[in-house]
Each structure stands twice: as structure tokens, then as C-alpha cells.
Amino acid sequence: FFANVEQVPGDPILGLTEAYNADARPNKVNLGVGIYYDENGRIPLLRAVYQIEQQLALDAKPRGYLPIDGLAAYDQATQKLLFGEQSPLLEAGRVSTSQTIGGSGALRVGADLLIKLLDTRTVAISNPSWENHRAVFGAAGFDVVDYTYFDAARHGLDFEGMLADLRKLERGSVVLLHACCHNPTGADLTQEQWRVVAELLKERGLFPFVDIAYQGFDKGIEEDAYAIRLLAGMDMDFVVASSYSKSFSLYGERVGALSVVSADAKQAKAVQSQVKRIIRTIYSSPSTHGAALVAGVLNSPELRQTWEQELTEMRERIHALRAGLVGKLNALGAGDFSFIERQAGMFSYSGLSRAQVDRLRDEFAIYAVGTGRICVAALSQKNLDYVANAVATVARG
């Protein structure tokens, strides 16, 4: 049956981790996948998560099935985090939120929903975008097109190009937007630019699909949700795929959510019934543990404060690592890398070519995505010198 099966290439991000794990060199560094590591090179177990886990273990519950759309306390806490505690949309019942298997699950369920309910097959994603966006929407049946986003020469956003391409889209097309900490470039829109884009989307009847996987990693929880709050105030329908993988350091628990904004509570209920049907036919219902942890932390004033503090620590440490890398590259005369400090979130689009990325891996055992994306959150004071020296070597040619 499988005699003629073709081998497909490994995943451009997770495939790197496989290669990294198989690499026997002791000085290896994985700057590929988007994971936050602490100073000791470990994925942190957040204090707030540890505490709620202890509490839950003391009061261990049987593991029945969750509802198809997940743990209600989790869904509600997620809505508040995304739309704001006092959101009139939540008050009006216009948002339906479903716990999903990670942010990727939210993207796929959202894509399945929109291909079924909307009168379009087109989704526009930024060029470049997260490596998996094209595949996820393609698998759901969308034709995926690009909109201009990044100006490689200036290492920043090409806003005029973005607007020009969005204007060319057919009415009703879906537009995928990164709410903050753009993956892979780290180039975000200013609030003023968001307002222009939101107006354009509304005026041209485009449907926003917001992906927010790094809330709290640039400026803060509230500030990083600006795009969502803005769209919420514009009387538009849209969807949001969100993730707690990074903000709670709960990667393997696969804690994500899909939130759909409809015109009124009646529509929201109907849409939710469609979401549930889709989930039921893929994985039936999500899992219990991660959602219980997140809901437990967000719904406890004390643990929430601890979590916010820890998120702030992670954010500030990433800012310091950016500054540290730029300082060292400067001192080594590697060229102008000051743009790394202007980029937001976990990633930097380093400007390194594929050949330079290959050299980093082959000569230094440093793994980065082929596009030149590096995960700044995988740097530490321990590997910073090593990485800076290697980058300077390959940058000089």
C-alpha cells in the first residue's frame, strides 16, 4: 500500500529541533523553535503554574470529558484577557470562545469554520509569516495569497506595501494578522498604523483573522491586545486564535483558544454550534490539565499577580538579551544589527541568508530557521558570546 509514498521534507521549524536533538556537539544552541528558555537553558516551570498544580493535586478530580468547546472557566478567562475585563462585546454575548489544542488547533478550527461559513476561499497572510500558516489554511481548503509586510533592506515594516496589497484583495477575503510580536520578523504595527489597517479592512469588507500567540511578550498584556480591542470597537465580525504556550510556558499542554466575534448573541450561539461540530469531528473535545492550570491561575487574584510578574520578567529578559546581542555584535564589528533591538517578541529576523544560517549550523552547531529567523529567547548570558562570535564570523563572510 505504501510502496510509492514520497518522503516530504521535514517541518522547517520543528524539523530543526529534531536535527538539534540528534547533534552530538556539546556547544550546540537551538535558536530555531520559538521557546523561551531561562538563564540555565531550561524551559521555565512558572511559579504560578507550579502552585496551582500543587493545589489541584491535593484536590485531585476525576477526569471526565470536557465539553466539546472546553472548560468554561478557561474560555471565560481567555475572553477577558483578549477583549478586556470590561468589554461591551462580552457583556452583549457577542464572543464565543472554545478551548483548542494549542494556537495551531485554533487556527485550523477557525480556518475550517470560515471556509464553511464565508463566501470566499482566499486568505491573505503576511510575507513572510509563521511557516505553518500557509499549510494550515491550505489544508482547510483556502487559496493562500501574500500581502507585502517586511522591507528586508530596512529591517522593518513596509507599511505602504501592506496597505497597497490589502486594497487589492477581493471583498470578503480573510486577512490573517499577527496582533503583536510578529512571527517571524518581530516587526509590528504602531497603534496609529493599526487604526489605518482596521479602517481599511472595514471599508473594503475584509474579514480579520487575528493570531495572538505572544500576548505579554512585547509591551504588556493589555498593550499587546491593542489590535483586538480596536477591532472589537469597530462593529465588525472577526476571529481570534490565541495561545498560552509561551505566556504560561505550557508548550506541551497545548492550551489555545478560538474566539469568534459575531454581530449579536444569537449569531454567536449559532456560530458556536458550528465550531463545536468541527471540533467534534477532529478531536471530539480538548484535554483537561492545561486548561485547569490556566483557568486556576487567571481566576485567582494572587496567582494571577504572580503570573503577571513572571511574564514581565520574561519580557524584560528578552529585551536585555536583544540589547546584549546588539552590543556584542557591535563590539565585534559585525555590522549594524541595531534593528534587533527595535523588533518585538521572541524573534528576530536577523537578515542572515540561508547560506549563513547553514554555516552557523555546520560550523558552530547553532540552529536557526532557514529564513534567518532566530529565537532571541533562547539566548542566555552563557551562550551570548558564543552566538555573537559565530554570527559575526558568518556575517563578515
Catalytic residue among 224, 246, 307, 328: 246
13 forms part of the interface with ligand LMR (CB under 6 A): yes
Catalytic residue among 130, 158, 188, 307: 130
Give the C-alpha separation, 246 to 222, whole Å. Answer: 16
20 forms part of the interface with ligand LMR (CB under 6 A): no
For the CA atoms of 95, 83, 304, 276, the dihedral, rounded to the nearest 10 degrees, stands at 20
Q: How far is the CB of 234 from ligand LMR (least distance, A)?
A: 28
Which CB atom, from 36 or from 142, has the smaller least distance to ligand LMR? 36
What's the DSSP call for residue 378?
G
Size (the chain), residues = 397
130 forms part of the interface with ligand LMR (CB under 6 A): yes
- Cell numbers that stand for 33 in this block: 523553535
Give catalytic status of residue 75 as yes or no.
no
Q: How far is the CB of 35 from ligand LMR (least distance, A)?
A: 7
Residues in contact with ligand LMR, total (CB under 6 A)?
Answer: 6
Cis geometry, peptide bond prior to residue 128 (ω within 30 degrees of 0): yes
Which CB atom, from 34 or from 128, has the smaller least distance to ligand LMR? 34
Which CB atom, from 95 or from 255, has the smaller least distance to ligand LMR? 255
Which CB atom, from 130 or from 207, has the smaller least distance to ligand LMR? 130
Phi/psi at 76 (5° precision): -70, -45
33 forms part of the interface with ligand LMR (CB under 6 A): yes
Coil, strand, or helix at residue 310?
Answer: helix
Which CB atom, from 13 or from 326, has the smaller least distance to ligand LMR? 13
Residues numbered 185 to 204 that lie near ligand LMR (CB under 6 A) are none
242 forms part of the interface with ligand LMR (CB under 6 A): no
Cβ count within 10 A of residue 18: 11
Give catalytic status of residue 130 as yes or no.
yes
Give the C-alpha separation, 232 to 240, whole Å. Answer: 11
Catalytic residue among 69, 165, 211, 218: 211
Give catalytic status of residue 211 as yes or no.
yes
Which CB atom, from 334 or from 369, has the smaller least distance to ligand LMR? 369
**347-349 and 29-30: which strand pairing?**
unpaired
29 forms part of the interface with ligand LMR (CB under 6 A): no
Residue type, 187: A
Which residue is at the shortest CB distance from ligand LMR?
34
34 forms part of the interface with ligand LMR (CB under 6 A): yes
Spatial neighbors of 18 by CB under 8 A, at least 6 apart, are: 10
Query: How would DSSP label each residue in 167-189?
Result: HHSPTT-EEEEE-SS-TTT----
Coil, strand, or helix at residue 390?
Answer: helix
Contact track, ligand LMR, 79-118, x by CB under 6 A:
----------------------------------------
Which CB atom, from 182 or from 315, has the smaller least distance to ligand LMR? 182
231 forms part of the interface with ligand LMR (CB under 6 A): no
Q: b/e for 337-357, b at 16 or more Cβ within 10 A?
A: bebbeebbbbbbbbbbeeebb
Using the rule CB under 6 A, which residue among 97, 122, 183, 272 binds ligand LMR?
A: 183
Give the C-alpha separation, 205 to 79, whole Å. Answer: 25
Per the CB < 8 A criterion, the answer to whether 369 and 32 are in contact is: yes
Q: How far is the CB of 33 from ligand LMR (least distance, A)?
A: 4
Q: Return residues touching ligand LMR (CB under 6 A).
A: 13, 33-34, 130, 132, 183
Just list the catalytic residues: 130, 211, 246
